[in-house]
Amino acid sequence: MIIKNPKFEISAVNEKQYPKIKIPEIVLVGKSNVGKSSFINTMLNRKNLARTSNTPGKTRQINFYNIDDMFYFVDLPGYGYSKMSKNEQIKVGNFIEEYLLKRENISLIIFLLDIRHDPSANDMLMYDFIINHNLPCIVIANKADKIAITKVDSQVKSLSDKLNPLHDLKFLPFSSERKIYIEEVWNVIESTLK
């Protein structure tokens, strides 16, 4: 896919603030520090479109990135960040849930996991939410550069076995660092936009 002019459009915490144009939305979910911003930058071949941080829990709003008026990448706040107060966690959880349940433009959920770790309790909750609400989803096993290339396939299979025993979701490895597996992810995105 050729991307010419991706841009950050708006941060939102409720329905009134969502963009008004009706184009497909590709939604990124995952725990804090799983690499959602780096994923966006890598996919779009931009260095700093989505702000990355070494401090988890920085994203506290829903960020909409307009990709050439064809679709949005929608970056949801990461979950499971312990330094966020309980009240703040509840507030953020509520507007994430509202977005996922009410937004009609969602074409695909990209659920990011860290390839090195088993799914956390919060990952399992998010997976159950996605499945129970019948949301279209693929799983990205991110940070594939952090393990030996010979172990990538078996680790992706292990994550799939643990999270998705029915094996009815597509699991793909990904690495922002090495910029590998990008083509495979674009193929899935493009097929959902047709």
Q: Does domain 6-193 have CATH number 3.40.50.720?
A: no
Nearest to 27 by CA among 159, 183, 18: 18
Q: What pLDDT sits at residue 86?
A: 77
How far is CA 122 from each of CA 81, 102, 109, 173, rounded to the nearest angstrom? Answer: 10, 21, 16, 20
Query: Per-domain residue ranges for the chain?
Result: 6-193
Rounded to an integer, the average pLDDT of 159-180 is 94
Residue 51 has pLDDT above 90, yes or no: no
Amino acid in position 110:
I
What token pair was written down for 42?
């890598």
pLDDT digits (tens, 9 = 90+) for 7-25: 999 999 999 999 999 999 9
Q: What pLDDT sits at residue 54?
A: 53
What token pair was written down for 20?
């008004």
For Cα atoms 33, 36, 39, give the angle at the middle one, nearest 5 degrees: 125
Rounded to an integer, the average pLDDT of 53-75 is 82
pLDDT digits (tens, 9 = 90+) for 82-133: 566 778 778 888 899 999 999 999 999 999 999 999 999 999 999 999 999 9
Proportion of the chain above pLDDT 70, given as a percent: 94
What token pair was written down for 183?
């083509």
Q: What value does the mean pLDDT of the chain take?
A: 91
